[in-house]
């Protein structure tokens, strides 16, 4: 708003407070003509006029008689413009054709004019003209306008100060990484949200007023439909943002419309807008994400829900198949890319830790051509996009999130997960990333079941690749082909046999570990179609996690294992454990492993931090937390020093100085945070550095080229390795198939399920172990298991048998329910070993 117009408005408020409007029936409480008005002196009236101007209070229209009457020269306010009329406040043309951009006050003036006339056509024309022009909209609602500059805090959410403080802390922590990532293009490319020139609070207040008017709502929709195609062309071909970073104002203003998720927008306007927004350069998207992170939960959630609703609406309104892929739907793709901006805004607005990163050991690049490169297949077997461009620009990763503002699960779109073809999507992800969109490039929108399918395809293709290479090498060298990773082990010496074999392979030819695993137990006839491998993993883990061996310590309260810092075992044993975990993921096997979440966070590249102690060492966590919160005299009451003690393998106390001469350095209120940080660093990182480094090395030998780290969060990696702890046998019953003459209506099948449902938790786990080779549910629950129950003869005294490779139960048709239960319990309780039927 022009300063002259602002002055005129303030003067008009002053005259209204001191002289009134001349209407004897006025009901405006801020008018001197109102019968309830308390008279003000000039100083008070001047202060009140400025206050009314800021809040856009109601203005009375002076009566004709009063506005035409000359004022006495004796009037104390001769400095005010006594001849001010409506033409001074409103533009001179009633069609407002001289309005070249909008401000909050100009909108209110136009609105007042329309309300007085009882006709909103002028407002509709103004909205249509301004909101359909990128150039005009970009100049509208500027911060440098005086009308709202001092009222900026009026639109802050209740928790805005908290989030601003968090944002400042995050920015300080992100300083080095962000500075390295930012291009040197001047101050306009900074991520400081204060750099945007649009007054967001004013925009929100304007929308609050206008969206209650039906004609204005329709005008917004039509204007957006007209605006967005031109924006898309400007961004794609003219690089308008690089020329003028204020182009981002358009997106900021449009996205403040709280009705964008309504049906009027979902058909055309919002899809076109998302397509334009997806064309923004990554620097602009990063600024937008940083800005949104200061908005507070309600606004970020609204953004997220707007894009989610568009994706869901589009998916359920269309039919997709192998010929018509959802990856080719421009609306879904664009909305997903916009949702990514809200996803990173949620991370920034929550609790983050961009420090405490494990050092990644990069594989040295070789100048020699690989066989894949010679065959022209290097793109299929490349490591893939390890860092998202927006992630790099922000200097922030999902793994850095301690607790996002909006839970990660809320960004998953189940409707999309049901229609995405992961075999095709995987190809786009690995091969056609430049020309085809893959939802694996936005993994936050996929659930863990869908992502595990993508990982499965990646693992299988690598297995087939190694099989082909083995066949090719054997032809060239005239040797017998060995397409599998074969392990022949003795049950009584399983650790020694597995360790020796895997250690030799990892040193001589690590690529053999990418072959499909094939396990053979010496003296047994079982052929490994998956079930023998499951048994192998189980036996290895039982041996390794045996407390008598001393590689890991076990907490009876948490039921979790942790690395034994004083273990006498060498690194090779820990490398074997890492290898086993990696091979389990690679061969799609579920393990009975009980690690705290910090282990998976460390595997994904984060060091253990204080909050991780709550899971791994809860008693210590509570003690340190009480120390930090203690309000008394820490030094005298606690009597702690920077020397700590713990017990070794044999129960003997071991002293450790957190700082040099720590036994002489008392813990005080001033240095207690440092004490807690050093204590945490020692327990979770330093004390187990040797053991964990070997463990991680073994894990990465198998998974270093996998998209695992890119696609999955730590809690999802745990789910991949360990499966679900929740056993829903109702879901298993619904998905079970029958063969050999059985059906769900067979009496023996009805008796079988009644028996299973009557089992206790331990007996149910034994049944799962007997039938599938593991007592855990796969990713997605037991409903994803696809168990088969086949008839194995008529009534007999033989026990039920199983093919764990195929999750198949061979069940004789027993004569009674009691006999069925007795035979089944004996089978699942004493089953061990493999044989040929």
Closest CA relative to residue 530, chosen from 722, 786, 774? 774
Instruction: Give the gyration radius of the chain's Cα atoms.
Output: 35
3-state secondary structure of 795: coil
Q: Tens of pLDDT along 640-658? A: 999 998 887 777 888 999 9
Looking up tokens 């080779």 gives 773
Amino acid 480: pLDDT: 66
The catalytic position among 34, 201, 589, 805 is 805
Parallel, antiparallel, or unpaired: how do β-strands 484-489 and 401-403 relate? unpaired
Buried b (16+ CB within 10 A) or exposed e, 297-315: bebbbbbbbbbbbbbbbbb
**Can you give the pLDDT at residue 511?**
79
Terminal Cα-to-Cα distance of the chain (whole angstroms)? 89
pLDDT at 532: 79
Q: What is the pLDDT of residue 71?
A: 39
> Are residues 456 and 363 in contact, defined by beta-carbon separation less than 8 angstroms?
no
CA distances to 18, 512, 589 from 494, in Å: 97, 20, 18
- Give the three-class secondary structure for 560: strand
3-state secondary structure of 739: strand
Say how far apart CA 534 and CA 806 lie, in whole Å. Answer: 12
Three-state DSSP at 310 gives: helix
Per-residue tokens: 293: 């992170």
Q: Please give the sequence-ordered ranges of beta strands (E in DSSP) within 412-461, or none if there are none.
A: none
Structure tokens at 459: 């693992």
Q: How far is CA 815 from CA 745, 795, 802, 819, 825, in A?
A: 16, 6, 20, 7, 16
Q: Check residue 524 and give its pLDDT.
A: 76
Token pair, residue 460, equals 């299988």
Query: For residue 318, what are the contacts with CB-CB under 8 A and spacing of at least 6?
Result: 324, 329
> Measured between alpha carbons, how far is 137 from 253 in angstroms, rounded to an integer?
8
Q: Which helix (H) or strand (E) holds 110?
A: helix 104-117
Q: What is the pLDDT of residue 68?
A: 42
Distance CA 616, CA 717 (A): 17
CA distances from 121 to 87, 112, 115 (A): 19, 13, 11
Low-confidence ranges of the chain (pLDDT < 50): 1-2, 64-92, 148-154, 157-158, 160-191, 193-194, 363-375, 379-381, 383-385, 834-837
Distances, alpha carbon 434 to alpha carbons 263, 379, 390, 430, 459, in Å: 33, 12, 16, 10, 22
At residue 790, the 3 state secondary structure works out as strand
Picking from 784, 800, 815, 562, the residue whose alpha carbon sits closest to that of residue 692 is 562
394 and 348 Cβ atoms separated by less than 8 Å: yes
Q: For position 95, what pLDDT does the model report? A: 60
Distance, CA of 629 to CA of 458 (rounded, Å): 48
Strands 653-657 and 552-555: unpaired
Would you list the DSSP string of 655-694? EEESSTTGGG-B--TTTHHHHHHHHHHIIIIITTHHHHHH
Centre a 10 Å sphere on the Cβ of residue 795 and count the other Cβ atoms it contains. 12
**Nearest by Cα to 718 from 834, 570, 560:** 560
User: What is the rounded CA–CA span in Å between residue 566 and residue 574?
Assistant: 13
Is residue 722 part of the annotated active site? The answer reads no
Which secondary-structure segment (H or E) carries 248? helix 248-254
Q: What is the pTM of this model?
A: 0.77
Distance from C-alpha of 149 to C-alpha of 167, rounded to nearest angstrom: 22
């Amino acid at each position: 708003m022009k300063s002259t117009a602002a002055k005129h408005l303030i003067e008009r408020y002053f005259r209204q407070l001191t002289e009134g409007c001349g209407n004897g029936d006025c009901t405006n409480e801020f008018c001197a003509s109102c019968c309830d008005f308390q008279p003000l002196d000039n100083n008070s009236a001047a202060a009140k006029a400025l206050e009314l101007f800021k809040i856009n209070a109601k203005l009375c229209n002076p009566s004709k008689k009063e506005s035409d009457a000359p004022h006495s020269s004796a009037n104390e306010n001769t400095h005010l413009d006594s001849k001010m009329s409506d033409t001074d406040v409103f533009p001179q043309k009633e069609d407002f054709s001289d309005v070249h951009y909008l401000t909050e006050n100009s909108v209110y003036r136009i609105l007042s004019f329309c309300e007085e006339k009882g006709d909103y056509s002028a407002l509709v024309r103004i909205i249509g003209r301004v909101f359909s022009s990128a150039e005009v909209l970009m100049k509208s609602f500027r911060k440098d306008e005086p009308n709202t500059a001092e009222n900026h805090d009026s639109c802050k959410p209740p928790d805005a100060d908290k989030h601003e403080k968090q944002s400042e802390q995050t920015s300080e922590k992100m300083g080095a990484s962000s500075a390295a990532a930012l291009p040197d293009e001047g101050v306009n490319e900074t991520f400081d949200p204060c750099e945007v020139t649009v007054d967001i609070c004013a925009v929100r207040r304007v929308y609050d007023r206008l969206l209650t008017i039906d004609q204005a709502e329709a005008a917004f929709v039509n204007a957006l439909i007209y605006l967005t195609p031109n924006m898309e062309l400007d961004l794609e071909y003219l690089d308008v943002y690089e020329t003028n970073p204020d182009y981002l104002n358009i997106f900021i203003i449009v996205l403040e419309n709280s009705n964008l998720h309504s049906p009027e927008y979902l058909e055309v306007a919002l899809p076109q807008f998302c397509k334009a927004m997806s064309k923004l350069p990554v620097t602009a998207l990063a600024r937008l994400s940083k800005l949104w992170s200061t908005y507070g939960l309600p606004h970020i959630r609204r953004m997220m829900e707007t894009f989610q609703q568009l994706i869901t609406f589009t998916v359920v309104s269309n039919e997709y198949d192998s010929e018509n892929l959802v990856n080719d739907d421009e609306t879904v793709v664009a909305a997903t890319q916009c949702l990514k901006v809200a996803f990173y805004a949620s991370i920034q607005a929550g609790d983050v830790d961009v420090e405490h990163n494990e050092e990644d050991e990069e594989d040295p690049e070789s100048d020699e051509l690989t066989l894949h490169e010679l065959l022209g297949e290097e793109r299929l077997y490349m490591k893939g996009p390890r860092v998202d461009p927006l992630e790099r620009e922000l200097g922030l990763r999902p793994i850095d999130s301690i607790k996002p503002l909006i839970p990660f699960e809320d960004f998953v779109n189940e409707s999309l997960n049901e229609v995405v073809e992961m075999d095709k999507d995987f190809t786009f992800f690995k091969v056609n990333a430049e020309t085809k969109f893959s939802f694996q490039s936005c993994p936050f929108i996929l659930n863990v079941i869908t992502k595990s399918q993508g990982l499965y395809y990646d693992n299988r293709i690598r297995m087939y690749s190694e099989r082909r290479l083995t066949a090719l090498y054997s032809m060239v060298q005239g040797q017998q082909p060995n397409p599998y990773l074969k392990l022949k082990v003795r049950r009584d010496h399983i650790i020694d046999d597995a360790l020796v074999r895997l250690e030799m392979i990892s040193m001589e030819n690590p690529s053999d570990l990418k072959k499909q695993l094939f396990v053979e137990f010496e003296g047994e006839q079982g052929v490994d179609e998956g079930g023998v491998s499951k048994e192998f993993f189980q036996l290895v883990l039982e041996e390794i996690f045996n407390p008598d061996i001393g590689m890991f310590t076990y907490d009876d309260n948490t039921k979790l294992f942790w690395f034994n810092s004083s273990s006498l075992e060498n690194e090779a044993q820990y490398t074997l454990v890492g290898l086993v975990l990696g091979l389990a993921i690679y061969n799609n096997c579920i393990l009975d492993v009980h690690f705290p979440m910090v282990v998976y966070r460390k595997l994904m590249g984060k060091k253990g931090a204080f909050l991780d102690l709550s899971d791994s060492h809860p008693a210590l966590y509570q003690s340190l937390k009480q120390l930090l919160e203690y309000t008394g005299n820490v030094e005298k009451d606690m009597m702690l020093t920077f020397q700590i003690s713990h017990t070794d393998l044999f129960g003997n106390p071991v002293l450790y100085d957190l700082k040099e001469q720590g036994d002489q350095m008392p813990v005080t209120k001033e240095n207690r945070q440092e004490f807690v940080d050093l204590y945490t660093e020692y327990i979770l990182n330093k004390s187990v550095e040797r053991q964990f480094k070997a463990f991680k090395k073994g894990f990465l030998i198998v998974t270093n080229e996998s998209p695992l780290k890119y696609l999955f969060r730590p809690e999802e990696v745990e789910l991949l390795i360990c499966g679900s702890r929740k056993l829903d046998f109702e879901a298993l019953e619904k998905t079970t198939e029958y063969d050999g003459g059985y059906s769900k209506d067979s009496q023996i099948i009805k008796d079988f399920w009644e028996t299973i449902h009557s089992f206790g938790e331990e007996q149910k786990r034994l049944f799962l172990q007997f039938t599938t080779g593991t007592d855990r549910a796969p990713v997605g629950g037991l409903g994803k298991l696809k168990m088969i129950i086949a008839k194995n003869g008529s009534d007999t005294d033989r026990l039920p048998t199983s093919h764990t490779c195929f999750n198949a139960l061979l069940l004789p048709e027993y004569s009674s329910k009691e006999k069925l239960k007795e035979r089944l319990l004996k089978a699942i309780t004493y089953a061990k070993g493999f044989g040929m039927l």
